[in-house]
Amino acid sequence: MSLTTKLYRSREVVLDMLSDRGYNTDEYANYSAEEIDILYKTNNNIKSPNTEINSLDIKVKNAAGNTLVIKYMLATRIRTRNIGEDLEDMITPQKNDYKSGDTIIIVIRDKLKNPEILETQFETIYETKGIFCQLFDIDKLMYNVTKHSMVPAHEVLSADEKADLLKKYNLVSDGQLPLIMKTDPVAKYHGLTTGQVCRIIRSSETHGVYKSYRLCH
C-alpha cells in the first residue's frame, strides 16, 4: 500500500477520532485521495522545521478552547530522539502558544523500536505543562477500532460524572475501579489520560444494556 493511500485512510480515522473527542473537523472533511496526495507532496517539499504546522497537519479546537494538533513526521527510519527534540521545540513558549489542556498527536511512518522512551517524555510533559501527547504509527490508523462489531461503546466521564459515580457506589477512591490501560487501542482512540474513567456500554440479551466502568492507568 502506498504512503499516499495510507495517509488518505488514516485521515478518515483521525477525523472520526477528533470528532468523537469533541473537536470541530469541518474544515478538514471531504478531501479526496488526490487532494491528500497534493498535500503530502506540498508538505514534503516544505523546508520549514518539523515543529511548524505544514499543509498535511491538522489543527482544531473544541468548545472549551483547547487546541489539538495532528503532526505528521513522515521521515523514514525516524529516531526516537528526533521526535522528542521536535516535540520539545514545539512546546517552547517562544515558538508556540500551547497551554494546559491542549493535545499534540504525532503520526509517524514507521513503527519505533523503543516507544517507551517517548511515553516517559509524554508523561513528564503532561505532569509539568498539562499538554497531552500521543504517538501513532500510521499503520495503526488504517481502521477505526471503535467501529468493530466486537468493541462496545466507550464514553469518557467528566470530572463531575466521575465524582457522582464514586458517590453512587460508595467507593472510597477511584482505585477501587477496574483498570483500562491508556495504551489500550480504544482508550488511545478516545485520548484517555491517567485518572480518567470511561463508561463501557454493552448490549445484553438478558439485561438489555449493561454498563461497566474502567479507570485509566
The 10 Å Cβ neighbour count of residue 168 is 8
Q: Please compute the mean of the pLDDT values over residues 86-115 and round it to a whole number.
A: 91
DSSP state at residue 75: -
| pLDDT at residue 94, as a whole number | 80
Q: Are the beta carbons of 86 and 50 closer than 8 angstroms?
A: yes
Q: What pLDDT, on the 0 to 100 scale, is given for residue 203?
A: 85
Instruction: Give the whole-number percent of the chain exceeding pLDDT 70.
Output: 96
For 105, other C-beta atoms within 10 Å of its C-beta total 21
Position of cell 493511500? 5
pLDDT value for 108: 95
Residue 212 has pLDDT above 80, yes or no: yes
Percent of the chain clearing pLDDT 90 (strictly above): 76
Q: Write out pLDDT tens, residues 121-166.
A: 999 999 999 999 999 999 999 999 999 989 999 999 999 999 999 9
Q: Is 72 exposed, middle or buried (0-12, 13-18, 19+ CB in 10 A)?
A: buried
Q: Please, which pLDDT band fits residue 97 given cuts at 50, 70 and 90?
A: confident
CA distance 37 to 109: 15
Mean pLDDT of 19-38: 93
Grade residue 52 by pLDDT with cuts at 50, 70 and 90. low
- Identify the structural domains of the chain with CATH numbers, from first to last: 3-141 (3.40.1340.10), 145-216 (3.90.940.20)
Backbone angles phi, psi at 106, to 5 degrees: -100, 130
Provide the pLDDT for residue 204: 75
The pTM for the full model equals: 0.90
